[in-house]
Amino acid sequence: MLVLVSLLAGSAPHIVLVLADDFGWHNAGFHPDSVPSDEIQTTNLNQLAKEGVVLDRHYSYKICSPSRCSIQTGRLPVHVNVVNTAPEVFNRHDVVSGFAGIPRNMTGIATRLQEAGYRTHMSGKWDVGMATYEHTPLGRGYQSWIGYYHHANSYWNYGLPFESTGEVNICLNQFTDLSENNTAGKRFVTNPATYEEEWFLERSREVIMAHDTSRPLFLFHSFHIVHTPLQIPTEYLSRFDFINYENRKKYAAMVYYMDQVIGQLVEALKMKSMWENTLLVFFSDNGGPVYSPGSSNNFPLKGGKYSDFEGGIRVNALASGGWIPSNRRGTVSKDLIHISDWYATFLDIAGLDIADKQAEKAGLPLVDGISQRDVLLGSKHNLRTSIHVSEECLIEGHMKLVMGSQPMCMWQGPTYPNATGVQPTFLPKGMVCNDCVDGCLFDIFADPTEHHDLAIEKSATLEAMKARLGKLNENNFNPNRGHPDIRACIQAIKNHGFYGPFLSEKDLMANRMEVL
């Protein structure tokens, strides 16, 4: 009710969404049970947690692109995208969903927020499509954007070396992936060899300082950090010389860098007198990668990125800012929250319904997200009782079902990697276990580290959840995304060596006619 009154009074809150990439559970210092460590230096995040709400049961998908598609559309990943497909792919038989990322006829969160008068801006990693203009941030409702399209790039020269993406694309990893409003931006063409995160920070600060505060702002600051390649300016690395394992040292330095950037964003909002009317939400797109060279740490949780164990999908998250009521500040929420919920939450705060009429007309999956506004305000709890996490994972209340052969089935220690076990390799998704082929069952509140499989003890619950997961999976959305298209490389050549949209409406019409 308070939010509705605020909206009617013309003071809708500014919304700042800050997304970390591959941020390990134990690499954050704001958990109530965090183990103290000199290498965990997250002073600004810790302060935001003290001034806000720690979202202790926040879940994502196990890899990057599906999580990001979920954020933008409010769908569970199983209803929008579950693969890290290269953005150069195209299926000429499907001009709605035959691309990497989000189908063309799903409406993005920025487009919807513009309906409520929000100014919408983005900085950083996209990773939810590139094939057409409609797939880009500008085509999804953001009024400005500086960032890159792929899963990762070089922090220093913005190319696609193998150590960034772990694959060789159709363009043989040539060309540059960093754009400003879908073009080769002048600021980084004329100033090469600038650390990429500096561009993102500079642009987000510009957006804040230039904002007309009579209008609400939606700013999405999407870090590349702490994703590989592990690259960081020397002055930050030297701060962690006491760590004797090089990749862990780099990872710690990158986390510190991220924390400093967050502090500067908050400071800019305060300088602009926007902070008292701001909701800042921070979380990671997935759990930390425990393989080499990822080098994150999810202690005491099991597993990491690419797995459905808690270390892969339960992520660091908090909500802060002046919009959070005083009686909620410094609290810890145990409510189940999924990344798809932020779409519904932000639209609810903006006074909008969550219906996606364009997607409904196209026969695409509808919005799954549940507004968590009342959880943030403290007026209601337990709004979400289940999460269809993936094809092989279902959470219902305190119980979690995990199926199949799961990678990264390991536990780390407080100083991982190099002090508590062997670090697996990235390929082939190291340390695969078959323990859950017939189903594993965990009480993730009583046993958050997933040490005790209850499959035998609670066999009736196991079978019931397996049946429900099977039924839910019947409605999964997994279209044929197609194959890498050489036109992506040709367009990059035309665009002075920079990646970008490579299919026009004319191209799509030609493919449609050819198929007919």
As a whole number of angstroms, the distance between CA 83 and CA 512 comes to 25
State the pLDDT confidence band at 353, using cuts at 50, 70 and 90: very high
Sign of CA dihedral 227, 233, 236, 241: positive
**Amino acid (one-letter) located at 171:** C
- Taking residue 83's Cβ as centre, other Cβ atoms within 10 Å add up to 15
SS3 146: strand
In our burial notation (b when 16+ CB lie closer than 10 A, e otherwise), range 370-407 reads bbbbebbbeeeeebbeebbbbbbbbbbeebbbbbbebb
Instruction: Copy the structure tokens of residue 74.
Output: 């409010």
Sorted by where each starts, the structural domains of the chain and their CATH numbers stand as: 2-515 (3.40.720.10)
Instruction: Tell me what pLDDT residue 506 has.
Output: 87
- Taking residue 139's Cβ as centre, other Cβ atoms within 10 Å add up to 16
Strands (E) across 13-84 are located at 14-20, 53-55, 58-59
**Amino acid (one-letter) located at 450:** E
As a whole number of angstroms, the distance between CA 241 and CA 232 comes to 13
Inform me whether the pLDDT recorded for 430 exceeds 80.
Answer: no
State the pLDDT confidence band at 316, using cuts at 50, 70 and 90: very high
Instruction: Tell me what pLDDT residue 193 has.
Output: 80
Instruction: Copy the structure tokens of residue 276.
Output: 């008292």
Instruction: Copy the structure tokens of residue 304.
Output: 């990491």
Instruction: Copy the structure tokens of residue 468.
Output: 């429900």
Instruction: Tell me what pLDDT residue 1 has.
Output: 35
As a whole number of angstroms, the distance between CA 67 and CA 8 comes to 33
R_g of the chain, CA atoms, integer Å: 22
State the pLDDT confidence band at 195, using cuts at 50, 70 and 90: very high
Instruction: Copy the structure tokens of residue 335.
Output: 């409510």
Q: What's the Cα-to-Cα distance from 267 to each of 41, 208, 264, rounded to whole Å?
A: 18, 10, 5
As a whole number of angstroms, the distance between CA 434 and CA 422 comes to 19
SS3 348: helix
pLDDT digits (tens, 9 = 90+) for 39-66: 999 999 999 999 999 999 999 999 999 9
Are the CB atoms for 406 and 309 separated by under 8 Å? yes
As a whole number of angstroms, the distance between CA 71 and CA 339 comes to 6
Which range is least confidently modeled, 252-256, 290-294, 406-410, 418-422? 418-422
Instruction: Tell me what pLDDT residue 183 has.
Output: 84
Closest to 294 in 3D by CA, of 382, 189, 376, 407:
407
Per-residue DSSP letter, 167:
S
SS3 503: coil
189-211 average pLDDT score = 90
Inform me whether the pLDDT recorded for 501 exceeds 90.
Answer: yes
Strand ordering across the sheet containing 317-320: 179-180, 144-148, 119-125, 217-222, 14-20, 278-284, 317-320, 53-55, 331-333
- Percent of the chain that is helix, strand, coil (3-state, to 5): 30, 15, 50
Inform me whether the pLDDT recorded for 179 exceeds 70.
Answer: yes
Inform me whether the pLDDT recorded for 3 exceeds 60.
Answer: no
Cβ partners under 8 Å of residue 238, min gap 6: none
Are the CB atoms for 368 and 340 separated by under 8 Å? yes
Are the CB atoms for 166 and 86 separated by under 8 Å? no
Which range is least confidently modeled, 81-90, 96-105, 413-422? 413-422
Sign of CA dihedral 366, 282, 345, 288: positive
Instruction: Tell me what pLDDT residue 512 has.
Output: 62
Residue 293: is the preceding peptide bond cis (ω within 30°)? yes
DSSP per-residue codes, 168-183: --TTTT-SB--EETTB
As a whole number of angstroms, the distance between CA 452 and CA 311 comes to 15
Quote the pTM value. Answer: 0.96
Are the CB atoms for 29 and 46 separated by under 8 Å? yes
Q: What's the Cα-to-Cα distance from 453 to each of 321, 404, 440, 445, rounded to whole Å?
A: 39, 14, 6, 13
> Which residues face 314 on adjacent strands?
59
As a whole number of angstroms, the distance between CA 121 and CA 132 comes to 19
Cβ partners under 8 Å of residue 383, min gap 6: 335, 370, 371, 372, 374, 375
User: Which stretches within 74-195 are classed as H helix?
Assistant: 109-115, 162-165, 186-189
Strands (E) across 341-468 are located at 386-390, 393-396, 399-406, 433-443
As a whole number of angstroms, the distance between CA 70 and CA 108 comes to 10
Instruction: Tell me what pLDDT residue 8 has.
Output: 37
Strands (E) across 325-467 are located at 331-333, 337-338, 386-390, 393-396, 399-406, 433-443
Closest to 501 in 3D by CA, of 68, 88, 185:
88
Polymer length of the chain: 516
